[in-house]
Structure 1
Amino acid sequence: MLWVALILSPRPPAPSDDPQAPPPHPWGICPEAQAGLAVWCLQFTPRVALMEDAVVMEVEASLRLFRGLPALKARIGDEAPDLGVAAIGWAPTATAALVLARCGVTDLGGRLLQTVLDPLPLRTLSAATEHAESLSRAGINTLGQLRALPRGGISRRFGAALLTMLDQAYSLRPEAHAWVALPEDFHARVELPSREDHAPALLLGARPLLMRLCGWLAARHAGATGVTLHWVHDSMRAKDAGDGGSLTIRTAEPIRELEHFCRLMAEHLAKTRLLAPVGELRLEAIGVQALVEDSGSLLPDAVRTGETLYLTLERIAARLGPERVLQPALADDHRPEWMTRWRTCGDGTAPRRKTRHMALRAPQVPEPAFLLDPPLRLTVREHRPHYQGALTLLIGPDRVEGGWWDRIPDTQAHRQVVRDYWVAVNENAGVLAVYREPVEDGGSAWFLHGVYA
């Protein structure tokens, strides 16, 4: 087995006059930070446990999923410090990994476990800490020297707990852990190290909360369509400032990308003004949905580079305002000009895919990729439409009729059309979409409406 131990940085105890306040952690760390780190670790393996001042997890079965041990070490080493991790250790047992992390030894480095543990000081083993002074007077200062003593004497004088933990460190006795359960809902809280007066500075405290959220979503194989960041004002505030405020950010599709959440939050916080200094942040997820994972095969179904178009549009809309960024959405209309309507970006709904039931009719000819606005009237010679030469009609006619329900604003007229569409072609212009419709003089005219890609 392969274990990793993540030791949290201790924090000074906060003074409190509340008799109902929870007691401080025996190892001087923040219990909420430890629980949040455990939730983040659940994205790597379900075998996660709390152990003294650390979080330990067994990752042997997860190495292939995360592209091998070097890649997993690099990822945990890069991301864990942002969650308050001060040291990381890798070893065959959880106790040994915890001992290595306390000594600043990252891993075994290809050496035997006994060779690495023997020269380490006694105080790295928590069960030996209270007996370290007595053992030191007897000349016992390292784990190797302790292990060389008679086992019966160790058990009688210092208790069985010391011998048990020593054996567990050296992988001579099995370990038992209470695994952390993945919570059904996500709610995270953090107390800022100092009071913040400016909203953009809140991102520094919100980023660890977003990291926990992304880890929780990954463990649930899900994504979120939004997050809500709440902040609590300092007690020394103006009367009209209120207890705090909140900011809700929504996305067009469920995601769990940390950097995208951070970019969106940065854009919104840049336009937010705080009414009083902030000392505490809380984060909750909105619209959690299951995600369909991308194919990891040699020949994937789709090749994606960077962020998707909709994530890019959301980030731009957060900066410029949603009313200044428009995106197309398919409408229930069979007339080509009005099949697509433009709507503001970032309204929390992704563009719908085109389905058969959305159209009022099944077209008999292919639909052009590009439309002219307005359509171009064509010349007719010898009863044939011309555009950069005579056009040959390939497919058609396809009758498009309707629009009595579509009134032009501020008028009594309607966008009623009666057209016969054709697919036409010539050597100069390529493949075109043309139509013929009645005109006011009682005859008919030809128009160029679209170009095929």
Structure 2
Amino acid sequence: MNPLWACILLPQLALDGVMRQRIEPTEPLVLLGGPPQRRVLQAVNPAARALGLKPGQLLSAAQALTRGFASADYDLAAIERWQQFLAAWAYGFSAQVSLHYPRCLLLEVGSSLGLFGPWPHFEARLRRELGELGFQQRITLAPNPVAARVLANVHDGLAIGDAAELRAALEPLPVDRIGLPRETASALARMGLRSLQQLLALPRDGLARRFPAELLRHLDSLLGERALALEFYRPPDRFDARIELNFEVESHQALLFPLRRLTADLAAYLAGRDSGVQRFTLHLEHRNRPASQLVVGLLSAERDPAMLLELTRGRLEQLQLPAPVLALRLEARELPAFAPQHRQLFDERPQQSLPWEQLRERLRARLGDEAVQGLGVRADHRPEQSWQAESDRRTPPLPSVGPRPAWLLGEPQPLAEAGLLILAGPERIESGWWDGGDLRRDYYLVQTRSGQRAWAFRPVGGRGPLQLHGWFA
């Protein structure tokens, strides 16, 4: 199969990264850059643009127009972090993800169409998930990564699958939109060259004499005649994200919005690397005192965003905040492989019921880690000593012994023998001489007159009625 490359251009990555952390995304917002004495508007959201603000405007001029907007720094380091986060998300769709171009993701998707369906369905899923994550996008498809990136400059949604169609789409492009350095594009414009078609019509040897060798290499890569060397992204082995709040927060309820965003980002990151999380730490940062830490431990690896939010929320509500919170940071280092639960084709559970795994973790989050216990076996033949409470579901296999009841009585009780039918036995159990709990019993599998099956015993050499010790389901 011929390779197909998708380019996801993120035109407002810095602005989207800030807006997705704000409770009111419709509030006018600008990003500021430049020295303190000359602050300049680098990006504005639609609400700020409606007030007459625009990129490149001085902050002083913007404040002369209106004061009704919020501001944040144009942070290049934050842009890099968001691009890395989105690369981890894209890794779930392709093993070949590249950050070769700034504010852009390149994905080889030709080999993924068999898994995610034809390109229109695949593209719709990419757009839907990016929208849920809070990022605007432009997406194009082409036979090579350079062409996909160049086409994203002037198109959104264009999909080209072969070389002949690619050339027809590229030739009308202006020379200043085909990815050339600004100096080279200006020199070509002064020569009267306006489109790529005119540029391609010139002799190659003439272009080689007048311009650096990078021009011809770029044109060859653009047309798919020369492969572009790409370094492919590999997701890190840990997740670490932080949200700084706009004001000091003193209530748990006000922390839910940033917490929902952090757990959703963690789930997207885990889905990209096909792993789950079994333990993570939520740091609540305060002013002039150490951060509070909330450790969330799970019995099995999970990655469902709603479940991660619910479990963290349940534990957070039990935490007494020692001081107002200025920022939240979520860190996850234990990222084991994720094995989805096997489900039946037709779910017969009532509509409002929960799977056991989700119910167990919700109870642990609400009641505490030690409040929910499982049952495990112990290497002891005495029925009263053969089980133990365990917090982890992973228990050793049951030993090969005779039938055992699911319901064991706390104290044996005399069993009326009228109409009693003995189905199996006796099975003699002699044990416990070493710890003072010596017992010698003969156990029988019996059936009562009403059809119930029970487990009963009589002391070895003893007389009298059978002692009921358990019921079978």
Instruction: Give the 5 Å matches for 1:334-413.
Output: 334-343=381-390, 349-356=392-399, 362-363=400-401, 365-379=402-416, 385-386=417-418, 390-402=419-431
CA–CA separation in structure 1 for the residues paired with 2:409 and 2:197: 83
Indicate whether 1:80 and 2:130 are aligned: yes
Q: What is the match of residue 333 of structure 2?
A: 285
Identify the range of structure 1 (392-401 vs 427-436) with the bigger mean alpha-carbon deviation. 427-436
Judging changes above 3 Å, is the alpha-carbon distance between structure 1 residues 428 and 182 closer, same or farther for their aligned structure 2 residues? same
CA–CA separation in structure 2 for the residues paired with 1:446 and 1:402: 20
Q: Which of residues 166, 188, 199 is equivalent to 2:240?
A: 188
Amino acid aligned to 1:452: F
Kindly indicate whether the alpha-carbon contact (under 8 Å) linking 1:4 and 1:94 is maintained by their aligned counterparts in 2: yes
CA–CA separation in structure 2 for the residues paired with 1:95 and 1:195: 44
CA drift at 1:132: 4.8
Instruction: Give the 5 Å matches for 1:101-116.
Output: 101-108=152-159, 112-116=165-169
Q: What is the match of residue 435 of structure 1?
A: 457
Q: What is the match of residue 423 of structure 1?
A: 445
Deviation track 1:291-350 (CA, whole Å, cap 9, x = no partner) reads: 5x579xxxx89879698523431123213434543433334443435544345x5xxx33
Deviation track 1:15-43 (CA, whole Å, cap 9, x = no partner) reads: 799xxxxxx99999711222233333334
CA–CA separation in structure 2 for the residues paired with 1:26 and 1:51: 20
CA drift at 1:249: 1.0
Judging changes above 3 Å, is the alpha-carbon distance between structure 1 residues 416 and 125 closer, same or farther for their aligned structure 2 residues? farther
Q: What is the match of residue 382 of structure 1?
A: none
CA RMSD of aligned residues (A): 4.1
Q: Which of residues 110, 114, 120 is equivalent to 1:60?
A: 110
Amino acid aligned to 1:391: L
CA–CA separation in structure 2 for the residues paired with 1:400 and 1:127: 87
Judging changes above 3 Å, is the alpha-carbon distance between structure 1 residues 202 and 10 closer, same or farther for their aligned structure 2 residues? closer
Deviation track 1:150-183 (CA, whole Å, cap 9, x = no partner) reads: 5455555554434433332332321111223444
Amino acid aligned to 1:186: R
CA–CA separation in structure 2 for the residues paired with 1:417 and 1:404: 8
CA drift at 1:94: 1.3
Q: What is the match of residue 20 of structure 1?
A: none
CA drift at 1:266: 3.1
Judging changes above 3 Å, is the alpha-carbon distance between structure 1 residues 338 and 64 closer, same or farther for their aligned structure 2 residues? farther
Kindly indicate whether the alpha-carbon contact (under 8 Å) linking 2:243 and 2:258 is maintained by their aligned counterparts in 1: no
Kindly indicate whether the alpha-carbon contact (under 8 Å) linking 2:258 and 2:328 is maintained by their aligned counterparts in 1: no
CA drift at 1:392: 2.2
Q: Which of residues 73, 76, 89 is equivalent to 1:40?
A: 89
Judging changes above 3 Å, is the alpha-carbon distance between structure 1 residues 321 and 180 closer, same or farther for their aligned structure 2 residues? same
CA–CA separation in structure 2 for the residues paired with 1:279 and 1:430: 61
Instruction: Give the 5 Å matches for 1:196-215.
Output: 197=249, 198-207=254-263, 209-211=265-267, 213-215=269-271
Indicate whether 1:321 and 2:374 are aligned: no
CA–CA separation in structure 2 for the residues paired with 1:120 and 1:27: 30
| Percent identity (aligned) | 28
Judging changes above 3 Å, is the alpha-carbon distance between structure 1 residues 6 and 275 closer, same or farther for their aligned structure 2 residues? farther
Indicate whether 1:446 and 2:466 are aligned: yes
Judging changes above 3 Å, is the alpha-carbon distance between structure 1 residues 281 and 289 closer, same or farther for their aligned structure 2 residues? closer
Judging changes above 3 Å, is the alpha-carbon distance between structure 1 residues 341 and 39 closer, same or farther for their aligned structure 2 residues? same
Runs of 5+ consecutive residues of structure 1 not aligned to the other structure: 18-23, 357-361, 380-384, 407-413
CA drift at 1:428: 3.5
Q: What is the match of residue 140 of structure 2?
A: 89
Instruction: Give the 5 Å matches for 1:178-327.
Output: 178-183=231-236, 185-192=237-244, 194-195=246-247, 197=249, 198-207=254-263, 209-211=265-267, 213-215=269-271, 217-218=273-274, 222-233=275-286, 237=287, 239=288, 242-272=289-319, 273=321, 275-279=323-327, 281-286=329-334, 288-290=335-337, 309-327=356-374
CA drift at 1:263: 3.0
CA drift at 1:211: 3.8
Judging changes above 3 Å, is the alpha-carbon distance between structure 1 residues 105 and 420 closer, same or farther for their aligned structure 2 residues? same
Amino acid aligned to 1:368: P
CA–CA separation in structure 2 for the residues paired with 1:125 and 1:131: 11
Judging changes above 3 Å, is the alpha-carbon distance between structure 1 residues 79 and 131 closer, same or farther for their aligned structure 2 residues? same
CA–CA separation in structure 1 for the residues paired with 2:117 and 2:382: 51
Identify the range of structure 1 (130-139 vs 391-400) with the bigger mean alpha-carbon deviation. 130-139
Amino acid aligned to 1:95: V
